[in-house]
Every structure is written in C-alpha cells, then in structure tokens.
Amino acid sequence: MPVLVLTSNRQRANHSMKFSSFTRFLNKKHASVAVSVCALAAVAGCGSADGASADSSNDTGVTSTGPTQKAASDSNSKMKATTFDGAVPFRGINLSGAEWGEAIPGQEGTDYQFPTTDEVDYFLSKGMNTFRISFLWERLQPTANGEFDSAYFNKLDALVTYATSKGAHVILNPHNYARYYEQTVGSDQVPNSVFANLWQRLATHYAGNENVMFNLVNEPHDLPTLQWVGAANAAISAIRNAGATNTIIVPGNNWTGAHSWYDDTGGVSNAVAMLQINDPMNNSLFEVHQYLDDNSAGSASSPCVSTTIGSERLAQWIDWLRQNGKKGFVGEFAGRNDATCNAAVKDMVETMMTDSDVIQGWLWWAAGPGWGDYGFSLEPQNNQDRPQMAWLTPYLKSDS
C-alpha cells in the first residue's frame, strides 16, 4: 500500500523528550506523520483501508504504577461532580500521551502510552478536578465512519470511567488539529459527516455520564474559518441528536489563540465566525489556548514576555465573551520555571478567577507518563512536585 509523508506547518517550538524505551520528538506545531493514502478509503473511495490496530489485546484496564484500582464497570452511569471552592468550576490539567507518536496505529508502550490512574489520583490530591485527555482520532477510529478500535477505546474508556468515578470531570479531546489522516475536516476528503460520525459515537457512549465533556478537536489551523465552523456545527448536531446533554467545548480556528481571536487569518476572524456556532442546548464553551512567550507558541524554553502578558492577551477574548453572552474555557496555558513566568502565571490565573462570570475553566499544559524534563510538565519527578505546581496550589482546593 503506498505511503505518503505529509508535513504540516506548525508554530510551537521543538521539545525532545524521552518516553519509555523511545525518544519522541514532540512539537505541538511541527510534525511529520506517515500515513496510508488509502486510509481514507471510506471517504475518498481509493480502495479498502487497512484499519486494523497493531494492539489486539483484550486488556480493558488502565496502566497504574501503584496499587491497581478497579474502575467502575458502567461508564454510562450518572456521576455527581465534586464541588470545588471558587467561582471557576473546572480547574485542572491536560493528561497527554495517548496521542503521541508518528506511527498509525502505532504500538502502545513504544509509540504512545495512556496516562495512568496514579496520575489522576495525584492531581486530584492537589485539588484539581478536571482532566483533558487527548487521543488520536486515527487510532480510535481507523476507518472513516467505522467502528472504534476496541483495544484503544477500552483503554481510553477505562481511564475516563476511573476519573469520573472519583468525581472528576473529563474532557475528551481528539488531538488532531481538525484533521483526519492529515486532511482537514469539512473538505472533500473528510466531509462533515465523517467528523460528525466520530462525535455521534462518542456522544452515544457517554451521554449518561454528565462529568464527561466533549472538546471537538485540538487547535484547528490552516483552513478557512467558516469551513471549521461548519464542521463544528455538524459535530454539535450529531452530539445533540444522540441524546447527549454534555457540555461541548468548541475551539476557534488559527490555533485558537486568545491573542489572535480578532485576526482574520482563515478569511474571517474567530470573533465573527464563532458567533455562528449553533448549540440548540446552549451548553457550549468557547475555548482558547494562550501561552506567554513572544509569539504565543508555547515553547518551554522561551521566556515569558512580561509579568502581565497573560492577562493582556486574554483581555479582548474576555470582552468578546461578555459582549456576546458567551462562556469560555482556557484549555491550555503554561510558563517555564522562572520569576517572570511565575508572576505572569499568577496574574493570568487571577484574571481567569476574577472573570469567572464568563470563564468556566482553565487547564495547565501538561502532564503524562513520558514527559521527562519538559519544562512545562507537572508530572512529579522522584516523588517531588514540579516547581510550577506550587504556583497553582493557591487557586485549587485540596481534599486533604
């Protein structure tokens, strides 16, 4: 089967990290992915796609580095969320790992690894209550409109079930940049119906778990903004038609930066186009990601511009939310470990907490089993908290 190597133009700085027995070159904005041209067969009609997963294991548990803890058996049961102090209801972290690696489908433990229940327990003990769990669409659904890969989905579902059984909120996030096998959603290769099918299946499964939220995709970019809005609306319609009342988190185009909310990259700005998002239940949040370095790209080695850069970059987006009667969510932010970034992060978090009439949540980027010495990671090392954990602690509620 012919293989095509596609390189997408990304902005975020390079991060080299060790992951288990392999070194993964992680770059949130620079990646090359080898994909099968015919993997989109169900859409483009180029022949039968090979959607089999390399992992045929029937293991439905979640890896834990500590004592095994059994997840609840019924992921569709209603679960009541833990109540946290403060007006911002959702405060937590991105758990990253299942979306890693260039190989599709790849091999768990070599190309990617799911976050663990121990990580869930650790961050809950710190007072966090929300986890954005990323996955790779192509691994979950190898063929367009097809069934989910059972081994991959069972791992994801077990982690979701465990976290929500503890009272946490889980945000499901296909970390795909509005792409499927490197073709944009809403295109001829990946029509809106394919994107809607992914979310119809997820919504059907999680409709009974009110602690699960649906983050449509990670950081759409380099496509017409109205094309993205059309795809998002198709997914929202599919979710609601599946009977799911869960909160939906909708990113903007152009890497969904707060600082660029009014830029017309993609033909029309997010400030204009996102007003066309249509959720019949009016239970959607508008997501931004905002970093503090000079180009908002999120380089863990770059300094923060100033001690107030975070609040400054959020300001127009916050005004947009308030003026248009919308609610927002900051899905990623972080700063490296130095005095300027410490002050900038505190200023940004205090802004988000103060503007809780429109900001419903915020999540640090990131943690997970393979981050090593990555400068933004909150994954504890040698049983010690990372320095930035102390920055966030005053804004969290500990159950201890």
C-alpha pair distances (Å), 296 with each of 24, 33, 160, 231, 256? 23, 24, 30, 26, 11
- In sign, the C-alpha dihedral spanning 76, 369, 104, 266 is positive
Q: Give the DSSP H/E element, type plus range, for residue 150.
A: helix 150-165
Containing 288, the helix (H) or strand (E) segment is: strand 284-289
Set 182, 219, 287, 379: catalytic member: 219
Look at residues 205, 206, 116, 211 and name the one whose alpha carbon lies nearest to residue 166.
211
Catalytic site residue 219?
yes
- Is 99 considered catalytic here? no
Map residue 133 onto helix, strand or coil. Answer: strand
CB 134, CB 177: distance < 8 Å: no
- How would you label 134-151 residue by residue, b for 16+ Cβ within 10 Å and e otherwise? bbbbbbbbbbbeeebbeb
**Shortest CA distance to 156 belongs to which of 138, 179, 133?**
133
The rounded distance, in Å, linking the Cα atoms of 324 and 271 is: 10
Q: Active site residue: 138, 287, 332, 379, which one?
A: 332
Integer Cα distance of 271 and 343 in angstroms? 29
Tokens of 224: 């017409």
Cβ–Cβ under 8 Å, residues 376 and 365: yes
Which residues does the annotation mark as catalytic? 219, 332
